[in-house]
Amino acid sequence: MVYVKDFKWTRGMTVEELVTGLDSVGFQSVELAKASETIIKMKESGAKIFFTFTSNMVTSGLRGFFAQVIRLKMADVVVTTVGGIEEDIMKSFGEKFPIGEFTADDVELHEKGTNRIGNLYVTNKSYERFEDIIHDMLKKVYDKKKRWTVSELLMEIGSMLNDENSILYQASKNNVPIFCPAITDGAFGFHLYMFQQKYPDFILDVVKDFANILFSTSQDEMKGMISLGGGVSKHHAILACLINGGLDYAVYMTTSRESSGSMGSATTREAKSWGKIKDNSDVATVIGDVTITFPLAMIKALEELSKKGLVKND
């Protein structure tokens, strides 16, 4: 039996000490500490780690941390949504996203050509510059060959970038595939459509890419997943792992509540009913803002793994 312990600050407290101290406070702090320990176990066991996140997290300053996580070999397969691809490329070319207010006048923002994502702003000008950038990139990949899977395309685009804080750049440099099954669900998709009107023999094979993620692991391989948010990015990785025998480790972080019945709100307990997660797996479901919960859990894990020589010091 574990009992509640009083949490106290000490001078010079590290992130590792902070998160460790939360494991007996109660409520979501316990799940946060458990999530960190589960990430450590994934790495120690040699599990293949699937890392999934939604595009709004790339809009935020987590983008550079995600790139660092890939560089530190804490993600073997990445699944995300197309907005994250777009904004990673935008930021690689110097776009800056202002921090505004959740309570901003949205009609006024629209009149100024500014789009709001929570309390973050992305201007229409950023999308206009993205159009020129992506067209040139697509022309270069088209000149190489005419048929690509999405993950191949993203690997190639990553090789064209020169930004250590870019997710695509680090994935390409470290040979980590990025899957984006809903590649058409955004500005990128529209530009793919327009490019194909000019070059009808340009093909993106989404079905072949589904085979690629299925064959990225196997029944015999240990599998872990760190899933931030929900939607297609979470489900696509889960489906690949389900078909290959289920996950041995899983960390879900979300703001959604289980009562909604959505993919984002689905807990690790619910996943066991589908066989997505094995019965005896180490799991944690953390309810809270990922911009807070993920850095805490992952940094604590990195500090411990670094001491054990399982990740290189940054």
184 assigned to some structural domain: yes
* pLDDT of 314 strictly over 70: no
Q: What is the CATH number of the domain that holds 155?
A: 3.40.910.10
308 assigned to some structural domain: no
Q: Which of 27-41, 146-160, 189-203, 253-267 has the lowest mean pLDDT?
A: 253-267
Predicted local confidence at residue 284, as pLDDT: 95
Kindly tell me the number of DSSP H helices and DSSP E strands found in the chain: 14, 10
Helices (H), the chain: 15-21, 28-45, 56-59, 62-71, 82-92, 106-111, 124-144, 150-160, 167-173, 187-198, 206-214, 231-243, 268-274, 290-307
How far apart CA 228 and CA 234 sit, in angstroms, is 8
Q: Which of 106-110, 121-125, 260-264, 269-273 has the lowest mean pLDDT?
A: 260-264
Task: Return the closest-CA partner of residue 81 out of 208, 253, 233, 212.
Answer: 233
Please say whether the dihedral angle defined by the alpha carbons of residues 283, 267, 239 and 174, taken in this order, is positive or negative.
negative
Summarize pLDDT for 134-171 with one digit per residue, the tens.
999 999 999 999 999 999 999 999 999 999 999 999 99
| Structural tokens at position 251 | 């960390």
Predicted local confidence at residue 261, as pLDDT: 80
174 assigned to some structural domain: yes
159 assigned to some structural domain: yes
Average pLDDT, rounded, for the chain: 95
How far apart CA 20 and CA 297 sit, in angstroms, is 10
Annotated catalytic residue 48 = no
72 assigned to some structural domain: yes
Report, in angstroms and rounded to the nearest whole number, the Rg of the chain calculated over CA atoms.
Answer: 20
Task: Return the closest-CA partner of residue 189 out of 46, 81, 42.
Answer: 81
Between CA 229 and CA 232, with CA 231 as vertex, the angle to 5 degrees is: 125
195 assigned to some structural domain: yes
Unique residue bearing structure tokens 């101290």: 21
Q: 293: helix, coil or strand? A: helix
| Count of CB atoms situated within 10 Å of the CB of 290 | 20
Task: Return the closest-CA partner of residue 53 out of 185, 230, 224, 180.
Answer: 230
Residue-range definition of the domain harbouring residue 207: 47-94+125-291
192 assigned to some structural domain: yes
* pLDDT of 282 strictly over 80: yes
With cut-offs at 50, 70 and 90, classify the pLDDT of residue 271: confident
Helices (H), 13-55: 15-21, 28-45
Q: What's the number of domains the chain is made of?
A: 1
Pairing of strands 77-79, 114-117: unpaired
Summarize pLDDT for 205-261 with one digit per residue, the tens.
999 999 999 999 999 999 999 999 999 999 999 999 999 999 999 999 999 877 778
What residues pair up with 254 in beta bridges, in sequence order?
Answer: 287
Catalytic residue among 34, 48, 91, 276: 276
107 assigned to some structural domain: no
Query: Please, are residues 293 and 253 in contact by the beta-carbon 8 Å criterion?
Result: yes
Reported pTM: 0.95
